[in-house]
Amino acid sequence: MKPTNLAFLVFGITGLLLVFILGYFSSSEKIYFTDVHPHIKNSDTQTTSFNGESNSINNKTLVILWYNLPFYLKSSVTYFQANKCNNFRSTCILSTVHSDILRSSGVIFTHSTLPRTPPMKNTSQVWIFNTLENKAFTHWPNTAWDYKFEWTMSYRRNADVSRPYGKIIRLDKSIHRNYSEVFRQKTKFGVWMSGHCPVPSRRKEYIEQLKKYIDIDTFGSCGKKKCGVRTPAMNECLKNFSRDYKFYFSFENNICRDYSTEKVFNLYQYNLSIIPVVNGPPQAGEYLPKGTFINALDFTSPEKLAKKLKEIGSSEKLYTQYLREKDKYGSLNNSEIFRESMCSACKKLDQLKGKNIIAKPKVIDVFKNEC
């Protein structure tokens, strides 16, 4: 065979091989993409969470916007973002970015940071009016907000979204103390600390009546003694009070259904060895454990309450019986209560499945007959 013919033959065979190889890889590539393509997700809308991170919003994500978030809730929002809701089929995102308003299923407005005029509202949204104050101390919205709110969020147990100041829990293990030593160290009888007076409950007047029969030291701007800086959380004052005194008067500024604040729940949350005396409400026994506190409303006069406190305070057996019972319980902290409330809101919104609900004419009407 001539060299030229041999060269053409080799070239032809090589070309056929190249065509075969390219055809093989081309068909393999088509097979690969045919298999992979159904798993490729479309681009999702993005929203920015409180801590600045971006979160994907798809059809299984529910967004709640907290409009004008109060500064004191920032740590609770961070806690919620790090501790998601359990047994919830959708992802719940809490945003504080105003631009997320039209893509949010729910929008929460706090009474103290409410704008004068409402922003634009999506007809499928649920707007929630949030206040942990009772009726006398809530900033109520003007008429521009009529028929804007579908739900309320408050300390009330029957609120659309309940967010109480505390929640009593049974401890896995009871606290053990030397109760005789605890009782022996308590050289003072009763203590009351308050920074607001006068108030609707007239608590100062009641304390003054009690002082006719028992010894009560009064602290704060409503009292005669000072004790550091007043804070709603644990402080040195409470620690010292629980060591030295037998009774702490957790008197609220108003006597309203379910209205019990940190004044009483702190004594459970921080396991303080002192017995709380509350000035109501009548329903307190439904969420505070029996035999761990004393309700002034159970007595017809300050004198009769004082007589009962003397009876308990003078007996190591009776007094430590209250302490032993109280030491079986604690209370959830603010961040965990916030998380539970937000998870409740998310689940309720998810259950609506886009269904519209009737807005309240005026949210103050919720407290119309009782504070």
First to last CA, the chain: 111
Q: Report the DSSP beta bridge partners of residue 106.
A: 64, 126
pLDDT the model gives residue 233: 62
Q: Is the pLDDT of residue 34 over 60?
A: no
Return the beta strands (E) in the chain as ranges.
Answer: 45-48, 54-57, 61-67, 91-95, 106-110, 126-130, 151-154, 161-162, 168-170, 188-193, 216-219, 245-250, 275-278, 294-295, 329-331
Distance CA 101, CA 98 (A): 6
SS3 193: strand
Distances in Å between the alpha carbon of 336 and those of 104, 134, 281?
23, 22, 24
Does the structure show a pLDDT above 50 at 107?
yes
- Of residues 38 and 79, more confidence is placed in 79
Average pLDDT over residues 325-353: 96
Instruction: Encode pLDDT of 72-86 as tens digits.
Output: 999 999 999 999 898
Across 295-313, average pLDDT? 98
Residue 36 confidence (pLDDT) above 60: no
Per-residue pLDDT tens over the stretch 348-365 = 999 998 788 999 999 999
CA distance 247 to 73: 31
| Residue, of 369 and 181, whose pLDDT is higher | 181
- The answer to whether the pTM exceeds 0.75 is yes
Note the pLDDT of residue 87: 79
Asked if residue 275 lies in contact with residue 325, where contact means CB atoms within 8 angstroms, the answer is no
Residue 231 pLDDT greater than 70, yes or no: no
Q: Report how far residue 157's alpha carbon sits from residue 36's, in angstroms, rounded to the nearest whole number.
A: 51
Write the CATH number of the domain with boundaries 45-165+338-367.
3.40.50
- Please state which of the four CATH numbers 3.40.50.11660, 2.70.98.10, 3.40.720.10, 2.60.40.10 is assigned to the domain occupying 168-331: 3.40.50.11660
> Among 258, 263, 270, which Cα is nearest to 367's?
258
Q: Given this model, what pLDDT does residue 19 score?
A: 39
Is-contact 270 326, C-beta < 8 A? no
Using CA of residue 135, residue 136, residue 137, residue 143, what is the dihedral sign?
A: positive
Residue range 219-246: average pLDDT? 84
- Has residue 53 got a pLDDT over 60? no
pLDDT-derived band at 88 (thresholds 50, 70, 90) equals confident
Residue 16: predicted pLDDT: 44
Higher pLDDT: 232 or 190? It is 190
pLDDT at 31 exceeding the cut of 90: no
Q: What is the mean pLDDT of the chain?
A: 86
Determine the average pLDDT of the residues in 138-163: 97
What percent of the chain is helix, strand and coil (3-state, nearest 5)?
40, 20, 40
- In this predicted structure, what is the pLDDT of residue 232? 63
Return the structure tokens found at 258. 């379910």
More confident residue, 367 or 163: 163
- For residue 307, the model assigns a pLDDT of 98
* 180 in Cβ contact with 316 (< 8 Å): yes
Considering the chain, tell me which residue range(s) the CATH 3.40.50.11660 domain(s) occupy.
Answer: 168-331
Whole-angstrom Cα distance, residue 198 to residue 187? 30
